[in-house]
């Protein structure tokens, strides 16, 4: 069979075919079809020399395997800059065509590396892929969720990455070359059940990709010692990913002295991660001495911002007497952190001991901002447990503003609950919040707000403190001991639905701080703050006490669950007939607090609490 010489040259890929090309009548120039070359002879090969892989730049000059023609030059990779991968594919294919995909994700990443391409993406169609030690360490994007027949996105088309049973995470993303221009999107990633294989996604060694619209769940590993048993995402070693619009779960790991399961963990050596728009669940972890389930764990030395997420601690189980149940957000010895506009739930735990449960727990951190969040402290069994909406300990330079906080224990069976507790911290501004101390048993104690041991320079302004109208309900637990504890400002707070125990003031000359004074009126409480904590009376005043119940204060309030459903969605909204002391009793904090929890502008007359009531004409005197 006779073969046209340009086609033969393309097949053989030989540089020496130039003489054959001349024999065919084509020109060795960059002319488009119909144009003339430098010797004025017409282009007779009929090819677009700018893009034809068989005639790239000159007639008969064919690009090699895994190359395409661009601007008359052969470039490595695929013409559309897309590699296709399918379980039905073959790794002998180039993978540039939907009709001839490759089969292995790992081998396709390796192909991209060998070619040196950095502007490509790998599209993986629906199916389950089990590839041991899968590592994205070359700058190519990875996307899933495509129909294998049409390569279009369709509902129910899941690209699932499964763990192979070995050690390490199901997918690791590593290296500074994997930067913000690289996207990992549309994947379902599941951790494994091996002894050290409970992690789903590890981001490490300076990688900073965008992780968006993924479903990521930790595995069911059993970890010894201080190892974290399972996690959805773990960020470490200078990595600084953006994690957005994803669903992330911690799995069901079992640990001894460490974390059973964690949704997202950011290590102390991580970079500046950005976490927004996600649904995060800590999982169903179990521990003996550690923390059973945690939604978000942060101990990084670089500040991060966490915004617009729904974070639930999960369901934890503690086997030992001293373990911690579940925590929505846990910040330990970290650099500055900003939690804004999140919905945070401390989860549910079953324990054999005291079993503390918390919505947000921050310790050893300077530079904290909690703003616009809706926080629930969680639930625990047995009833001897303690729950906190927010616990700020041994920290400073903190702002807690525009939050709605429920102490937890909505069933009324938890022994001790705190809406917000500030302990051994300094320079804390608590302003414009709505804080609820939920019902407790007869032997229990409920505090909407507590400022305890060695806390100093604490400002408490424009807060709405809600109680359960029982002998156990306390609006404010205030320690004026040991020496050095102080409240810098105490102004325009409203106490609502409390009985005789409006507040407890705690004083003593010893370390135990065990002498308590009960206050049933505002003036006595303000006098205690002025005289005992050594404060100027010019920064104290304007506080009020109202008898209205939450059902009279808010537009909607479910009593059997102590307002929990309304807190979660859409937040506690004031009734138009709310008491005027709430609707109009606030101080002017517009210089630092210009909007409320819902984004509305605060204006005269200012409301107390997390919401600014825009129409107070029907408020109750």
Which pLDDT band, with edges at 50, 70 and 90, does 1 fall under?
Answer: very low
Specify the DSSP class assigned to residue 436: E
Which pLDDT value is given to residue 296?
98
Q: In the predicted model, is pLDDT for residue 412 greater than 50?
A: yes
What's the CA gap between 619 and 391, in Å, rounded?
33
Higher pLDDT: 42 or 433? It is 433
From the list 168, 174, 165, the residue with the least C-alpha distance to 139 is: 174
From the list 438, 434, 489, 502, the residue with the least C-alpha distance to 465 is: 434
Strand partners, 304: 337
Could you read off the pLDDT of 86-123 as tens digits, one per residue? 999 999 999 999 999 999 999 999 999 999 998 899 99
Could you read off the pLDDT of 474-492 as tens digits, one per residue? 888 887 776 656 788 999 9
What's the CA gap between 205 and 173, in Å, rounded?
8
Q: In the predicted model, is pLDDT for residue 31 greater than 60?
A: no
Output the 3-class SS for 285-314: CEECCCEEEEEEEECCCCCEEEECCEEECC
Q: In the predicted model, is pLDDT for residue 23 greater than 50?
A: no
Which pLDDT value is given to residue 537?
57
518-555 in b/e form (b: 16+ CB < 10 A) is ebeebeebbebbbebbebeeeebebbbbbebbbebbbe
- What's the pTM value of the predicted model, to 2 decimals? 0.89
Strand partners, 540: 490
The count of other CB atoms within 10 Å of the CB of residue 335 is: 17
What's the CA gap between 579 and 496, in Å, rounded?
10
The count of other CB atoms within 10 Å of the CB of residue 88 is: 9
Which pLDDT value is given to residue 352?
82
Specify the DSSP class assigned to residue 561: G
Which pLDDT band, with edges at 50, 70 and 90, does 520 fall under?
Answer: confident
Domain ranges in the chain are 5-76, 356-621
What's the CA gap between 517 and 88, in Å, rounded?
75
Which pLDDT value is given to residue 430?
98
Helices (runs of H) and strands (runs of E) counted in the chain: 7, 50
Which pLDDT value is given to residue 40?
42
Strand partners, 279: 247, 310
Higher pLDDT: 110 or 500? It is 110
Q: Which helix (H) or strand (E) holds 145?
A: strand 141-146
Give φ, ψ of 24 to 5 degrees. Answer: -80, -15
Could you read off the pLDDT of 587-601 as tens digits, one per residue? 999 999 999 999 999
Could you read off the pLDDT of 526-535 as tens digits, one per residue? 888 887 655 5
The count of other CB atoms within 10 Å of the CB of residue 11 is: 12
Which pLDDT value is given to residue 468?
81
**DSSP string spanning 440-489?**
--TT-EEEEEEE-TT-EEEEEES-EEE--SSTTEEEEEEE--STT--EEE
From the list 520, 494, 491, the residue with the least C-alpha distance to 505 is: 520
The count of other CB atoms within 10 Å of the CB of residue 76 is: 17
């Amino acid at each position: 069979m006779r073969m046209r010489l340009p086609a033969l040259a393309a097949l053989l890929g030989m540089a020496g075919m130039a003489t054959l090309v001349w024999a065919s009548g084509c020109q060795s120039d960059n002319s488009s079809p119909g144009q003339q070359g430098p010797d004025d002879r017409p282009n007779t090969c009929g090819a677009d020399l700018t893009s034809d892989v068989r005639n790239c730049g000159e007639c008969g000059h064919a690009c090699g395997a895994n190359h395409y023609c661009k601007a008359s030059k052969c470039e490595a990779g695929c013409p559309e800059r897309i590699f296709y991968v399918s379980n039905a594919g073959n790794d002998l294919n180039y993978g540039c065509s939907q009709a001839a995909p490759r089969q292995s994700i790992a081998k396709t990443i390796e192909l991209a590396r060998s070619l040196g391409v950095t502007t490509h993406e790998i599209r993986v169609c629906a199916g389950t892929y089990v590839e041991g030690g899968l590592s994205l360490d070359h700058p190519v994007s990875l996307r899933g969720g495509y129909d294998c027949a049409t390569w279009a996105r369709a509902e129910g088309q899941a690209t699932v990455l499964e763990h192979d049973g070995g050690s390490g995470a199901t997918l690791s993303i590593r290296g500074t070359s994997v930067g913000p221009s690289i996207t990992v999107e549309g994947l379902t990633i599941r951790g494994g059940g091996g002894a050290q294989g409970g992690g789903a996604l590890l981001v490490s060694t300076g990688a900073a990709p965008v992780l968006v619209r993924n479903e990521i769940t930790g595995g069911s590993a059993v970890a010894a010692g201080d190892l974290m048993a399972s996690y959805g995402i773990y960020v470490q070693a200078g990595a600084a990913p953006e994690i957005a619009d994803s669903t992330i779960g911690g799995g069901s790991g079992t640990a001894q002295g460490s974390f059973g399961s964690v949704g997202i963990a950011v290590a102390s050596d991580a970079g500046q991660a950005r976490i927004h728009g996600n649904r995060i669940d800590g999982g169903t972890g179990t521990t003996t001495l550690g923390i059973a389930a945690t939604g978000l764990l942060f101990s990084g030395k670089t500040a991060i911002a966490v915004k617009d997420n729904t974070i639930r601690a999960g369901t934890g189980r503690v086997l030992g007497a001293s373990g911690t149940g579940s925590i929505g957000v846990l910040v330990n010895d970290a650099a500055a952190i900003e939690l804004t506009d999140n919905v945070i739930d401390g989860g549910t735990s079953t324990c054999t001991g005291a079993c503390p449960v918390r919505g947000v727990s921050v310790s050893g951190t300077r530079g904290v901002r909690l703003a616009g969040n809706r926080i629930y402290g969680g639930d625990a069994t047995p009833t001897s447990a303690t729950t906190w909406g927010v616990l700020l300990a041994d920290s400073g330079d903190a702002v807690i503003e525009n939050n709605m906080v429920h102490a937890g224990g909505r069933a009324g069976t938890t022994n001790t609950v705190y809406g917000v507790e500030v302990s051994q911290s300094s320079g804390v501004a608590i302003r414009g919040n709505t804080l609820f101390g939920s019902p407790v048993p007869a032997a229990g104690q409920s505090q909407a707000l507590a400022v305890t041991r060695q806390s100093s320079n604490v400002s408490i302004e424009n807060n709405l403190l809600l109680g359960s109208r029982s002998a156990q309900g306390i609006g404010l637990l205030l320690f004026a001991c040991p020496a050095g504890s102080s409240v810098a400002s105490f102004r325009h707070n409203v106490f609502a639905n409390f009985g005789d125990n409006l507040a407890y003031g705690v004083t003593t000359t010893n370390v135990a701080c065990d002498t308590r004074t009960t206050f049933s009126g505002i003036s006595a409480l303000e006098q205690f703050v002025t005289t005992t904590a050594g404060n100027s009376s010019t920064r104290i005043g304007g506080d009020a006490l109202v008898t209205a119940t939450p059902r009279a204060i808010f537009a909607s309030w479910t009593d059997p669950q102590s307002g929990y459903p309304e807190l979660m969605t859409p937040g506690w909204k004031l009734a138009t007939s709310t008491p005027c002391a709430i609707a109009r009793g606030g101080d002017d904090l517009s210089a630092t607090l210009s909007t409320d929890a819902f984004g509305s502008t605060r204006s005269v007359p200012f409301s107390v609490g997390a919401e600014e009531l825009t129409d107070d004409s029907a408020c109750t005197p």
